[in-house]
Amino acid sequence: MGRLSGKVALITGAAGGQGAAAARRFVAEGAQVVVADVKDEEGKAFAEEIGAHYRHLDVSEEDDWTSAVAEVTDVYGPPNVLVNNAGVLHFSTLQDTKLADYMRIVQINQVGTFLGMRTVVPGMVEAGAGSIINVSSIEGLRAAPFLTAYTASKFAIRGMTKVAALELADKGVRVNSVHPGMIETGLLPTAFGGQPVDLSFASKKVPMKRVGQPAEIAELVVFLASDESSYCTGAEFVADGGVTAAHSLSSFG
């Protein structure tokens, strides 16, 4: 028996990066997985490769959530795991941040997480079981310049995770947040218009002297989805190579 046998998991933003790494591990641990994304071609091919089901889901769209959760229920039964992983990044100074850019980041990262939780919770409460994993960031714990919108959205995810956890704690539904440090995915290149980004500048600043890999975050997400984390709710799980252990006067590299 896999660690996730009996789990029906919906993972957003799972066509690539950390979502894809989690989806792969979930299938290996016996979960029935729905890979959801807006990148339909990549998502479908990936889902087929790992033996998952693909579903188009723009997390910022309320109606998409309703129909996606209905489809998961038709295909595998009601989801008892939700990984709110889809996210986007935008760099600009506070004074140069256009409202449209701010709202785009908040609509996907923050509103998407809210809509996802709100859509799956009734089914989880009815079943008396569920685990929701909200992917925040170290920017949900600490600040970085040029990331007003992203940081706002990731602090909001951390906060609403705790509200949901408290409301659902006696109903069998657990809600936790995950806070990755810098992980080697398409997130930064996408924010820079698709350009490759050399992450060696960041590696030097990490106490472990390297950025993280998507598979290292997937292990944490598997734990939180599984019954191994049965007493964990409303908590923050950090995987950042030691970055948030330091304050800004610390010197690394």
Ligand X SMILES: NC(=O)c1ccc[n+]([C@@H]2O[C@H](COP(=O)([O-])OP(=O)(O)OC[C@H]3O[C@@H](n4cnc5c(N)ncnc54)[C@H](O)[C@@H]3O)[C@@H](O)[C@H]2O)c1
- The catalytic residue positions are 150
Smallest gap from Cβ 173 to ligand X, in A, equals 21
Q: What is the largest CA-CA distance in the chain?
A: 54
119 forms part of the interface with ligand X (CB under 6 A): no
Q: Which residues contact 82 (CB under 8 A, 6 or more apart)?
A: 9, 10, 116, 117, 120, 130, 131, 132, 133
Burial class (CB within 10 angstroms; exposed 0-12, middle 13-18, buried 19+) of 160 = middle
186 forms part of the interface with ligand X (CB under 6 A): yes
Looking at the Cβ atoms of 103 and 169, the one nearer to ligand X is 103
Q: Which of residues 43-72 bind ligand X (CB under 6 A)?
A: 57-60
Candidate segments 17-25, 158-166, 222-230, 242-250, binder of ligand X by CB under 6 A = 17-25
CA distance 123 to 49: 29
39 forms part of the interface with ligand X (CB under 6 A): yes
Q: Which residues contact 24 (CB under 8 A, 6 or more apart)?
A: 50, 218
Looking at the Cβ atoms of 131 and 137, the one nearer to ligand X is 137
Sign of CA dihedral 60, 82, 157, 184: negative
Q: List C-alpha distances in Å: 11 to 8, 35, 166.
A: 10, 5, 23
Smallest gap from Cβ 23 to ligand X, in A, equals 11
Looking at the Cβ atoms of 4 and 141, the one nearer to ligand X is 141
* Residue 162 in tokens: 């705790």
165 forms part of the interface with ligand X (CB under 6 A): no
10 forms part of the interface with ligand X (CB under 6 A): no
Residues that bind ligand X (CB under 6 A): 12-13, 15-19, 37-39, 57-60, 85-88, 108, 135, 137, 180, 182-183, 185-187, 190
